[in-house]
Structure 1
Amino acid sequence: MKSFAEIRRIAIARKGEHELAARMPGPPERPLRDLSDDRVLAEFSRRIFQTGLSWKVVDGKWPGFEAAFHRFDIARNAMMSDDDLDAHLRDTGIVRHGAKILSVRDNAIFLGDLARAHGSAARFLADWPATDAMGLYDLLGRCGARLGGMTGPYALRVLGYDGPLLSKSVVAALNMAGALDGAATSKAARVRAQEAFNTWHEESGVPYAVISRTLALAVPD
């Protein structure tokens, strides 16, 4: 398997050192563990509604989402009634997609359960070790609503969780580096990907998000 230093040299050869540095992710505005759980629900919901749609459309309507879903209050949305659902389906200020609207309720229940068990869903997510990020992504896919695939991991990245993303470019780079042979869809492949990221993190000391972005820039777009 290639070292992270080798992968970084490949990325620099493709993009140049200045552009590579410019495209690295920076620290979040606030640490994930310091966020209120309503902000976690809001980010999960934003990414769910953006899936398959223009992100600009969802972003443009976001004030309407915040109003319709009571600033994503966990307790209020966990109690979403049939009347609430009907009102949402008539609300032109949001994207009126029934299954995605119901995911707000289901993820409010999921986050509420985490908060009752751990004091705060945000702290629970923040404290999950990046050395087992794939385990956290699996948890979101199993227990959350519509948080599988890239949706949950990307939302966590935006929220400040330092985990790798298995985008198409990153998976291609994992193959190029000799860490994978094929797709990253099976549990065994995801374990191998996590082990590679852990090795590169131990080698370099840089955040997992930086390793992930470097891999993505080391292969053709």
Structure 2
Amino acid sequence: MRSLEDILAISVGRKGSVEAIFEGFAPSKTPAELAAQPDDRWLSAMTRAIFNAGFNWKVVESMWPGFEAAFEGFAPGRCSMMDDTWFDALVTNKAIVRHGPKIRAVQENAVFIREVADSHGGFGTFVAGWDVTEFAGLLAHLKSNGTRLGGTTGQYFLRSMGVDGFILSRDVVARLIAEGVIDKPPTSKGAMTAVQTAFSEWHRTSGRSLKEISRILATSTG
């Protein structure tokens, strides 16, 4: 496995400069900023990532005001109590994407968020306290305890909220394979452990955030 500086040199050779690599790059939020975000915004972002998965993101974006209205601002307490009447109205509501299982996931994830918030003083506080060197563990937790949050869905959800972490895009995976970290897209616990180990090592030796490392890996191939 090459050093991050060596991979950065590959990226610079492809993109022309470090500035080009990080064009439009926004830093991750601080733990205090993460903890300050209310639970309804976490449920909103979680839902948006779920509806984006396998669908046209621009369509979801254009319809998002309708989602916010239909789900009553994504208040976890309200959404966790979704009854059949509300569910039936949602699956026929043309202001949103009418996908029954994803709509049901809102209720189930509202329950998940409430449970976490009750034990940690807020979902944001829970996420903010997670060790960055164990990001893969946070993804596994979301997958196991939430609904429809596996694959890259959980990764995009956390990134959208400003959490420092990686996204295993096709380009990032290609670099990880080239570096011998994995031999195919990671789906097993063992493969994700290998990915986390590599990112943690690059983080330790370079001082760069996981998000920065993810960008460097992506631009070295894509």
Is the structural similarity TM-score above 0.5?
A: yes
Of 31-40 and 72-81, deviating more is: 31-40
Partners of 2:172 and 2:24 lie apart in 1 by 15
* 1:10-159 equivalence runs, <5 A: 10-17=10-17, 18-28=19-29, 31-159=33-161
Cα deviation, 1:28-67, whole Å, max 9, x if unaligned, reads 5992211001000000001111112111111111111101
Shift of the alpha carbon at 1:7? Answer: 0.6
Map of 2:165 onto structure 1: 163
The percent identity for this pair of structures is: 42
1:130–1:162 contact (8 Å) kept in structure 2: yes
| Aligned CA-pair RMSD | 1.4
Which amino acid is 2:172 matched to? V
Shift of the alpha carbon at 1:23? Answer: 4.9
Partners of 1:125 and 1:66 lie apart in 2 by 23
Partners of 1:212 and 1:165 lie apart in 2 by 7
SS at match of 1:22: coil
The 1:25–1:176 alpha-carbon spacing in structure 2 relative to 1, beyond 3 Å, is farther
Cα deviation, 1:60-100, whole Å, max 9, x if unaligned, reads 11111101111000100000000010111121111111001
Structure 1 segments unaligned to the other structure (5+ residues): none
Shift of the alpha carbon at 1:19? Answer: 1.3
Q: How many residues align?
A: 220
Partners of 1:27 and 1:119 lie apart in 2 by 22
Which amino acid is 1:90 matched to? T
Partners of 1:21 and 1:97 lie apart in 2 by 36
Of 19-28 and 67-76, deviating more is: 19-28
1:2–1:178 contact (8 Å) kept in structure 2: no
Partners of 1:28 and 1:136 lie apart in 2 by 16
Shift of the alpha carbon at 1:177? Answer: 2.1
